[in-house]
Structure 1
Amino acid sequence: MHHPYNRRTFIQLTGAAGIGLALPHIAKPQPVGDVPPGRRVGIIGLDTSHSPAFTKLLNEPNAALDLGGYRVVAAYPKGSPDIESSVSRVPGYTEEVKKLGVEIVSSIADLLTKVDVVLLETNDGRPHLEQALPVLKAGKRLFIDKPVAGTLADAIAIFEAAKRYNVPVFSSSSLRYMTTAQEIGQGKVVGKVLGAEAYSPAHLEKTHPDLFWYGIHGVETLYTVMGTGCRQVVRAHTDKTDVVVGTWADGRVGTFRGMRGGKSDYGGTVYGETGIAKMGPYEGYRPLLVQIIRFFDTGTPPVSPEETLEIYAFMEAADESKRRSGVPVTLESVMVKARSVAKAR
């Protein structure tokens, strides 16, 4: 998601209330040669606020130990070719990361000669398959920011390629790592989750399935507490809101509400065996970055490919329900269709 860089947001992203916004006040980054072996990070795509935010956190000279000594050393800036909100950000974000000691390269091939692991940050999911393939072929662990791809078929193709090249891939919204959602999902707050409602902004981008672009945040929150096993969804929508009701195999019901009008936020309500709990507040990018670093260290994604693909099948089934005037649509039906498209490539 995109956040303007005011002081409040900067503090939220970094947890560093005492650090000013002016880049010249940041200490000069250590030379690239001082980066520990295996910890050189490359970024693909400088059209999202995630790129400078992650770079600030990793390249801060006094970065916390839970970030493992990883540093962003190189970036390939090109992101979306035609989404104006993305294209317009590239020049500014390129300058920001350059000031943090990052080398700007002209191709993904060049990037891969300089780094050990990769953050695929391109805001546009459509080029993700094309951008991910050379990273996987090079054997470098890969985090793919939301959305995984511009279609469910492409998302399947990415994970199939990861399996083929035996390279682990991880993708997640930062909303998964809200402390409250994590604790509820682990059974620490209300026991077994019997049902849940999650909400988030759900701005649309015409080049992507409706919920892929921004609704992913609330859907991922829903899955964090409900787990996998959704069988079918029904979607109701207006110009200002979406409501997607999913039925899980064990009879539980989980609901996502996406808001497109007025002020909206991130959170939800969870109904459990021992009580009712609220999810939130959103805690910024840092908790996700800690998980990414652990993934780079271990090679074990904290969210399985199967769960990530089910999340995207949930959103694709919601689109199909909309196209069919709100009838129930099974996740398996959209997966079968998408697998067929992916296999035909």
Structure 2
Amino acid sequence: MRRIGFIGTENSHTDHFLRFLNTEQRHPGFRVVALAGGRTERNEALRAQGGVEHVVDDPAGLVPLVDAAIVSTRDGARHRDQAEPLLAAGLPVLVDKPFATTVDDAVAMLDAAEKTSAVLVSCSALRFVPQIADLADDAGRGALRQLSIVGPGDPDSEYSGLFFYGIHHVEAALEILGNPVVEPGSVTASVTRDGDTTVALLRIAGVAVVLTFVVPDAGHRVPFHATATGVDGVVARELTLGRDYNAPALTRFVTAVETGRAPAGREQLLSPVVVLSAVADALADQRERP
């Protein structure tokens, strides 16, 4: 039995992972046995719901109890501090989106994983929606010239601004583009913000990329949508997340634990953080202008 520990249980993704692993037992031989964060009301409810044996105060407390861990904390700025003790112990770690909110934090986690040969996985659920394959296929549209991704995103979110939802835009775009390597400092963004809408213009792998973030509220939330414009045509698709939208990411992690091989290399994990950091930096510069 491979024992899994959870960090960041305030996130609803934790409910999904717990359901897949303990309640529905979709991955025989894998089970959630421990939660970090102390005996909060939320953790006690999850413990009862999934039959979880242990609750510890901090991520380091998971090390002797588990064989792998999932970090789902909403604020990606906390992911490095939470993942590093586990990676230092050589444990496989799934870092839920966003992987990190700064390039420095992303590099630090990648370095920590390499030092102990720990398996490190992170991915947006949008990478797995079936519409992505339609958009990536150039059979109908021809060579790609422009890619537009629209979805929810709030520059003022308490969870590190655009990183909370905006990482979905970026990872979807990179998946459609064929996952080009985006080196730190190699991309710049032009950003405008008008009320609840922020638009970022970038050029990635020779393609003009437009990312549109619309602030969600209790009354509305714009769906994720992508438009791929080629020399021969245009393909547009809504990117639909079903009830089990987190299942592919968990399957990817389970497979990585079983094989001991991460599904994505250092560059693929780092590139989304590089792109969204460029957007966040441009937005910050705009705010500082008189």
> What range is the shorter-chain TM-score in?
0.7 to 0.9
Q: Quick check: 1:320 aligned with 2:281?
A: yes
- Judged with a 3 Å threshold, the aligned counterparts in structure 2 of structure 1 residues 296 and 279 are, in CA distance, closer, same or farther, namely farther
Number of residue pairs aligned between Structure 1 and Structure 2: 275
CA contact (8 A) 2:148 2:226 kept: yes
1:8-41, Cα deviation, whole Å (9 max, x unpaired): xxxxxxxxxxxxxxxxxxxxxxxxxxxx3xx211
Unaligned runs of 5+ in 2: none
**Amino acid across the alignment from 2:213:** G
- 1:95 pairs with 31, 40, 45, which one? 45
**Amino acid across the alignment from 2:279:** A
SS state of the match for residue 123, structure 2? Answer: coil
1:1-12 superposed matches below 5 A: none
Q: Quick check: 1:259 aligned with 2:222?
A: no
CA contact (8 A) 1:246 1:253 kept: yes
**Amino acid across the alignment from 1:287:** P
SS state of the match for residue 228, structure 2? Answer: strand
- 1:282 pairs with 241, 245, 250, which one? 241
- Give the structure-2-normalised TM-score: 0.84
RMSD (Å), alpha carbons: 2.6
- Judged with a 3 Å threshold, the aligned counterparts in structure 2 of structure 1 residues 99 and 248 are, in CA distance, closer, same or farther, namely closer
Please give the alpha-carbon distance, in whole angstroms, between the structure 2 residues aligned to 1:189 and 1:109.
51
1:1-345 superposed matches below 5 A: 36=1, 39-61=2-24, 63-64=25-26, 67-77=27-37, 91-92=41-42, 94-103=44-53, 104-182=55-133, 184-185=135-136, 193-205=144-156, 209-226=160-177, 227-229=179-181, 231-249=187-205, 251-261=206-216, 262-272=220-230, 275-277=233-235, 278-283=237-242, 284-325=245-286
CA contact (8 A) 2:147 2:229 kept: yes
Please give the alpha-carbon distance, in whole angstroms, between the structure 1 residues aligned to 2:271 and 2:123.
12
**Amino acid across the alignment from 2:35:** A
**Amino acid across the alignment from 1:111:** L
> What's the CA shift for 1:202?
0.3
Aligned residue in 2 for 1:342: none
- Judged with a 3 Å threshold, the aligned counterparts in structure 2 of structure 1 residues 205 and 50 are, in CA distance, closer, same or farther, namely farther
SS state of the match for residue 212, structure 2? Answer: strand
Query: Equivalent pairs: percent with the same residue?
Result: 26
* Structure showing greater relative contact order (alpha-carbon pairs closer than 8 Å, 6 or more residues apart): 2
> What's the CA shift for 1:51?
0.8
